[in-house]
Amino acid sequence: MSNRERESFDCIIIGSGPAGYTAAIYLARAERKHILFTGFKPGGQLISTNKVENYPGFPNGVSGYKLMEAFKAQSERFGTKVKDNSVVKINFNIIKNLHEVILDNYLKIKTKALIIATGASPRYLNIENENQLIGKGISTCANCDGFFFKGKKVAVIGGGDKAAEESIYLSNLCKKVYLIIRDKKMKASKIMQKKVLNIKNVEIFYAHKVIKLIGVKKLKAIVCKNRKHNNNSLFKVAAMFLAIGQIPNSLICKPTLKLDKSGYIITKYTITNIPGIFAAGDVQDSRYRQAITSAGSGCMSAIEVEKYLQEKAD
């Protein structure tokens, strides 16, 4: 990083999902000195989504990877500096109206404003033997790992759009897909439900909860409890794909920023409880959690940053 980049910025953006890149586009067009740090997963969760069908402007759908590459290219065209670093610590208010971030290479950078768009991470079951089997049959990304289980039986855990999408993708690769849903019905959108229900090699089990994982060096089977009849069933599978929600990546914000009981940053119009600190995307959105709403909140955060900087300059 050059000496110029060691200077204070008008705004630093942490995160490279739809929220981060959209904020960058707006800040670049406002000619604000800013920089975006991609974090440990450039492109966010969307980067591993096989096909996005509900983002406006793509009538035939678009892969998550291509969509995020387009976001990045657009922000860079307007002058955004994108760096493949992670922010490991935030020092709030080191000087009045000035904050500091510390990168994974120990470099410290000061900024007048900060947009936290760190997104969220997949939620796990938190049951015995799960950690040992991650990467050995347990995955949170069918698009990433589905190929390794071609022609085999697999399970998808969850009942939302993500679980439906994973099931659809895996049905084209795997011999059998068991869709295990904890509730009595799917929460996925109607169109996604219809797609899943029309696939012959996808079998749905409602009111089932995974209670045991069988396997040492690799996953061999899962045991599920039928919550309706209170009996257990064994599913011999080579892999289990988790799609049971997410956990906001807000640990870096503790204890200074106000978080709700689930760890989401509490905001009002993307404004946090600390002046000059803003949050956008899944890290502050426990309700919608869509690519388009993340992009929208990224726009909002950039506009709020511009207002904040103008007020401080007056």
Out of 10, 11, 84, 144, which one is annotated catalytic?
A: 144
Query: Considering only CA atoms, which of 285, 273, 277 is closest in space to residue 248?
Result: 285
Kindly provide the residue ranges of all beta strands, DSSP E only, lying in the chain, ordered along the sequence: 9-14, 34-37, 81-83, 87-95, 98-103, 108-116, 120-122, 138-139, 153-157, 176-180, 202-205, 208-214, 221-226, 231-236, 239-242, 246-248, 277-279
Q: CATH 3.50.50.60 residue ranges in the chain?
A: 4-121+247-313, 130-242
Q: What is the pLDDT of residues 212-242, one digit of tens each?
A: 999 999 999 999 999 988 999 999 999 999 9
CB 32 within 8 A of CB 115: no
224 noted as active-site residue: no
Lowest mean pLDDT among 48-57, 85-94, 273-282, 301-310: 48-57
pLDDT higher at 116 or 228: 116
pLDDT bucket at 3, cuts 50 / 70 / 90: very low
Provide the token pair at 222. 């899962």
pLDDT at res. 7: 67
Query: Considering only CA atoms, which of 255, 3, 28 is closest in space to residue 11?
Result: 28
| Bond into 255 cis (ω within 30) | yes
pLDDT at res. 6: 61
25: left (phi > 0), else alpha (psi -120 to 50), else beta? alpha
> Whole-angstrom Cα distance, residue 56 to residue 72?
17
Query: Whole-model pTM?
Result: 0.82
Long-range contacts: 183-191, Cβ < 8 Å, 24+?
Answer: 183/159, 183/207, 184/228, 185/159, 186/159, 186/160, 187/159, 187/160, 187/161, 188/159, 188/160, 188/161, 188/163, 188/164, 189/161, 189/164
Lowest mean pLDDT among 21-30, 113-122, 142-151, 248-257: 142-151
Provide the token pair at 6. 């060691």
Query: What value does the mean pLDDT take over residues 16-45?
Result: 93
pLDDT at 5 over 70: no
pLDDT at 257 over 80: yes
Proportion of the chain above pLDDT 90, given as a percent: 81
pLDDT at res. 81: 96
Query: What value does the mean pLDDT take over residues 238-262?
Result: 95
> Whole-angstrom Cα distance, residue 294 to residue 175?
35
Is residue 171 helix, strand or coil?
A: helix
Out of 10, 11, 104, 145, which one is annotated catalytic?
A: 145
299 noted as active-site residue: no
The structural architecture, per CATH, of the domain 130-242 is 3-Layer(bba) Sandwich (3.50)
Query: Considering only CA atoms, which of 170, 177, 236, 181 is closest in space to residue 206?
Result: 181
pLDDT bucket at 4, cuts 50 / 70 / 90: very low
CATH number of 4-121+247-313: 3.50.50.60
Out of 10, 11, 141, 282, which one is annotated catalytic?
A: 141
Q: What is the pLDDT of residues 271-288, one digit of tens each?
A: 999 999 999 999 999 888
Is residue 256 helix, strand or coil?
A: coil
174 noted as active-site residue: no
What are the backbone dihedrals phi and psi of residue 8, each rounded to the nearest 5 degrees, phi first?
Answer: -70, 140
Long-range contacts: 140-148, Cβ < 8 Å, 24+?
Answer: 140/241, 140/242, 140/243, 141/48, 141/241, 142/50, 142/166, 142/169, 142/170, 142/241, 143/48, 143/49, 143/50, 143/169, 144/48, 145/239, 145/241, 146/170, 146/173, 146/174, 146/241, 147/173, 148/239
Query: What value does the mean pLDDT take over residues 101-119?
Result: 96
